[in-house]
A = this chain, B = another copy of it.
Amino acid sequence: MPPNTLTTDHAPEALAPSRLESFSDGVIAVIITIMVLEFKLPKEPGPTAFITEVAPTLAVYLLSFTYTGIYWINHNHLLHRLKRVDAPILYANLLLLFCLSLLPFATSYVLSEKFNSFSVAVYAGELFLSGLGFVALSAAITRHFYRTDTADPVRLATQKAEARKGVLSMALYALAVPLAYWHPFIAVAGLAVGTLLWIVPGFMLPASRHTV
């Protein structure tokens, strides 16, 4: 086997993350805006029809937009110190994008079903899946750091803390499935907490990440 089969973080054979980033940006840009096509003109003129017919779609859109936006920001942080990508990272990223792309539909469903138990459980399941995609991508990156000998202690500490945070919100999302059958709104509160953890990207991570 020739010596260049040994990949390092700077091996010319390995792909740079630029296309992974631009492709993910494109996919998330479509996901985050595609719901504007759902806006329908109200059937009657005037404020009442506008509020009763447009407001629910607007609420769904705002929710999905916020959720997807938070994921985009954390995806941004997750990838930004990566110099090279490998196949497992590319596939884990595709898995995350797939899960995220189902969010607008799940949000739409939970609102159209007026937060009944089953719809909240479906929504919690979708958040669980997205969390799983994120943790899988994080794990693929940690594995890559080990394989390319670029696993310095600072990076590893950040990766570990982020994975722990990811598993914690997945636990909250999983817990929300049975909770939805006991009391949907307590389940929704659990989902909200699991998501709020991610609003400040550096929260629960080592100090050097707090600054960004």
Q: Which residues of chain A have a CB within 8 Å of any CB of chain B? A: 1-2, 4-7, 11-16, 18-19, 21-23, 25-34, 36-37, 39, 41, 45-47, 50, 58, 62, 65-66, 69, 72-73, 76-77, 80-81, 86-87, 90-91, 94, 97-98, 101-102, 104-105, 108-109, 112-113, 116, 118-119, 122, 200-202, 207-212
Q: How near does chain B come to A201, taking the closest CB pair, in angstroms?
A: 6
Inter-chain contacts of A6 with B (CB < 8 A): 211
Beyond A5-B207, A11-B211, A102-B36, whether A30 also contacts B41 by CB under 8 A is: no
| B15 adjacent to A80 (CB under 8 Å) | yes
Beyond A21-B19, A109-B41, A212-B86, whether A50 also contacts B118 by CB under 8 A is: yes
| A207 adjacent to B1 (CB under 8 Å) | yes
A11 to B201 Cα, complex, angstroms: 17
> What are 15 A-B contacts with C-beta separation under 8 Å?
A4-B207, A4-B208, A5-B207, A5-B211, A6-B211, A14-B211, A18-B21, A26-B29, A32-B97, A33-B34, A36-B101, A41-B109, A50-B109, A76-B90, A87-B201
Q: How near does chain B come to A54, taking the closest CB pair, in angstroms?
A: 8
